[in-house]
Amino acid sequence: EVQLLESGGGLVQPGGSLRISCAASGFPFSNYGMSWVRQAPGKGLEWVSGFSGGRGGPYYAESVKGRFTISRDNSKNTLHLQMNSLRAADTAMYFCAKDRGEAVADWGSFDIWGQGTMVTVSS
Amino acid sequence: DIQMTQSPSTLSASVGDRISITCRASQSISTWVAWYQQKPGKVPKLLIYQASTLENGVPSRFSGSGSGTDFTLTISSLQPDDFATFYCQQHSSYPWTFGQGTKVEI
């Protein structure tokens, strides 16, 4: 079974840092593009960062560029997001999401999502 | 960045209704559009990719159409399980972007 399991969320003060992770299983992780998508409480979906299925990237949304760093460890089937200089506006559920397939046509559409990890930025 | 504008923001409908949700891209994106359904407290579910291809296991009452800048998600006969929020998303160029969502309510 294909699974994504996020961890590492929590409460952090403005200006602080946090690293969240996503453990993947059930598919050849290194072959797939992966992304982080967030959702603030009661709001819509916002793509944050990701790696392309063609091993390109990383790529970032403008709102996090220079503050967040995405990385992947293909030997451990794990995706990470290092978040620095956190702001109240970064408060959200962070989902890890997998590209639908290895083909170019599947890059960037997400067929499997983790349950999410909540990040709260507050003093 | 490519902006995705959905309409309407909220749609009130009844079981059995045929409904359509539209999504307009700020520039041409060919057919690089996906549609998702999200229920409260749940993760998004992929319904349609490449504008019109139904994801495995998704009921055939869902359909997608469009190319270029204008896209539509249609539910042919609304079922009780379909009341949720729907999002379009472009995957033509980075950064990927979502529409603001359409809540379908009774």
Residue of chain B with shortest Cα separation from A60: B95
Return the pLDDT at A57: 85
**Phi, psi (degrees; rounded to nearest 5) at B40:** -55, 130
C-alpha–C-alpha distance, residues A87 and A49, integer Å: 17
The answer, yes or no, to whether residue A54 has pLDDT greater than 80, is: no
Residues 6+ apart with CB under 8 A from B63: B48, B52, B54, B73, B74, B76
Residues in chain B with CB shorter than 8 Å from the CB of A45 are: 36, 38, 44, 87, 89, 98, 101
A94 burial type by CB count under 10 A (0-12 exposed, 13-18 middle, 19+ buried): buried
Q: Please answer yes or no on whether A45 and B97 come within 8 Å at the CB atom.
A: no
Do the chains contact at A114 and B43, CB–CB below 8 Å? Answer: yes
Give residue A68's region: left, alpha or beta (phi > 0; psi -120 to 50).
beta
> How many angstroms separate the Cα of A122 from the Cα of each of A6, A82, B89?
21, 18, 30
pLDDT in tens, B3-57: 999 999 999 999 999 999 999 999 999 999 999 999 999 999 999 999 999 999 9
What tens digit of pLDDT does each residue of A91-106 get? 999 999 999 999 888 8
Contact B25, B48 (CB under 8 A): no
In terms of CA atoms, which chain A residue is nearest residue B54? A111
Write out chain B residues lying below 8 Å of A111, CB-based.
Answer: 46, 55
Closest chain B residue by Cα to residue A110? B46
Question: Nearest CA to CA, how far is A83 from chain B (Å)?
Answer: 18
Report d(CA A78, CA A95) in Å as an integer: 13
